Amino acid sequence: MQERAAPLDAETKVAERPHDHKDELRLWLRLFACKEVIEGEVRRRLRHSFDVTLPRFDLMAQLYRAPKAMTLGELSQRMMVSNGNVTGLVDRLVEQGLISRRPSPKDRRAQLVSLTAEGRRFFRAMARENGDWIADMLADLSGEEIETLMRLLAKTKASARKAIGNGVPR
């Protein structure tokens, strides 16, 4: 087994334990698997119950939560996806009549999007079901376990962000 030459300065945690990275790797794989199971089922049910994809649901959720109409740029930042991606999603949702898009009165470069009345009703129905699905899937976890997971996952995310150099979301 190959010894790793760790940098001598601040972050020598990995080198301190002669352990290889097995535990961390296994944790990552388990986190990933866990997310796959839940997300897969959410996608399936959104599709079968509402004929909607998860990305469209996410976009509508952003608009639903927002107090005012949003530009495509704001949307893409909040959803953490590329601009071009949002362009396509908005196209399709407008075509479905669930959101509306109009030029910004302030800036002729920008477009403002918001839920239509139908989009609002539709999203509310989906969100209610979605909450039930998640609650069912996590039903075997006690309140205490949920709290522990919340805390440790927050720490995990913070640790990852720090290593990435992305300490603050922006």
Partner DNA sequence: CGACGATATTTTAGGCTTAAAATTTTCAAG
Partner DNA sequence: CTTGAAAATTTTAAGCCTAAAATATCGTCG
Note the residues at the interface with a copy of itself (CB under 8 A).
2, 4, 11, 13-14, 17, 20-21, 23-28, 30-39, 41, 80, 128, 130-132, 134-141, 143-146, 148-150, 152-164, 166
Smallest gap from Cβ 29 to a copy of itself, in A, equals 9
Q: Please, which residue, 73 or 153, has the CB nearer to a copy of itself?
A: 153
Per the DSSP assignment, residues forming a β-bridge with 92 are none
Between strands 70-71 and 99-103, the pairing is unpaired
DSSP codes joined into one string, 101-145: EEE-SS-TT-EEEEE-HHHHHHHHHHHHHHHHHHHHHTTTS-HHH
| Cα gap 55→38, rounded to integer Å | 15
Smallest gap from Cβ 17 to a copy of itself, in A, equals 8
| Phi, psi angles (nearest 5°) of residue 121 | -60, -45
Binding partner at 152 among DNA, a copy of itself, none, C-beta below 5 to 8 Å by kind: a copy of itself
**Sites of contact with DNA (CB under 7 A):** 44, 53-56, 71-74, 80-90, 92, 104, 107-111
Per the DSSP assignment, residues forming a β-bridge with 70 are 113
Binding partner at 110 among DNA, a copy of itself, none, C-beta below 5 to 8 Å by kind: DNA
Q: Please, which residue, 28 or 97, has the CB nearer to a copy of itself?
A: 28
Give the tokens for residue 30.
């388990």
